[in-house]
């Protein structure tokens, strides 16, 4: 039953995720993986959707909107005044603040649960590894990296929230 449902929905999900991902700023594969996980959770709870294609379309749009809302509230590090873009130049005070922020981030990453520290260290690495390389290094499937990254970043946000508020 589950295999037939997945096989039947795969082309539709791929098309819907590709169509919605660009506008939401998400990767299509991440959007697909999230929807698959939501479907599996429903199937595990013995609550299969009555109209699977309709459910899939609504769920993809809902997740795309959620991703868009999240992206609007995030501030990119590129706007950080202490960022000297690796030039080695800049105000010593700003350089010290930037170094303190990087240390605080790395310390918080080390305090995360499960495999989050290894995953985020790989993502923060200056080597700019691909998802395939990171998945191979961590021994997990490439399709799980996006949702796992989202969960880990959520944990990191919650862990850093008191520190950011205090700062």
Give a yes or no: residue 78 inside a domain: no
Write the DSSP assignment of 85-129 as a string of letters. TT-S-S-HHHHHHHHHHHHHHHHHHHTSSTTHHHHHHHHH-TT--
Can you give the residue range of the structural domain that contains 31?
Answer: 2-73
**Assigned token pair, 134:** 């990171």
* Residue 39 domain flag: yes
Among candidate residues 73, 107, 123, the one where a domain is terminated: 73
What is the value of pTM for the model shown?
0.47
* 135 in any annotated domain: yes
Q: Which two tokens stand for residue 80?
A: 């950080």
User: Which residues of the chain fall below pLDDT 50?
Assistant: 82, 88
Q: Which of 58, 54, 61, 10 minimizes the C-alpha distance to 36?
A: 10
Q: Are residues 58 and 102 in the same domain?
A: no
Same domain flag for 121 and 147: yes
| Residues 54 and 22 occupy one common structural domain | yes
Cα 60 to Cα 68: distance, rounded to the nearest angstrom: 12
Q: Domain tally for the chain?
A: 2
67, part of any domain: yes
| Tens-place pLDDT, residues 89-137 | 567 888 888 888 888 888 888 999 988 999 988 888 888 788 888 888 8
């Amino acid at each position: 039953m589950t295999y037939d449902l997945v096989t039947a929905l795969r082309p539709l999900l791929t098309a819907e995720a590709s169509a919605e991902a660009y506008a939401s700023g998400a990767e299509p594969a991440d959007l697909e993986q999230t929807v698959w996980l939501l479907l599996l959770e429903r199937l595990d709870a013995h609550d299969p959707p009555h109209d699977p294609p309709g459910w899939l379309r609504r769920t993809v749009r809902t997740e795309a909107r959620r991703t868009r809302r999240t992206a609007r509230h995030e501030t990119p590090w590129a706007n950080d005044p202490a960022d000297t873009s690796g030039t080695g130049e800049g105000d010593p005070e700003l350089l010290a603040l930037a170094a303190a922020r990087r240390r605080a981030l790395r310390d918080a990453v080390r305090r995360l649960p499960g495999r989050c520290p290894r995953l985020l260290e790989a993502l923060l690495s200056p080597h700019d590894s691909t998802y395939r390389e990171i998945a191979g290094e961590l021994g997990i499937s490439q399709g799980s990296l996006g949702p796992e990254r989202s969960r880990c970043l959520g944990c990191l946000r919650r862990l850093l929230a008191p520190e950011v508020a205090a700062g």
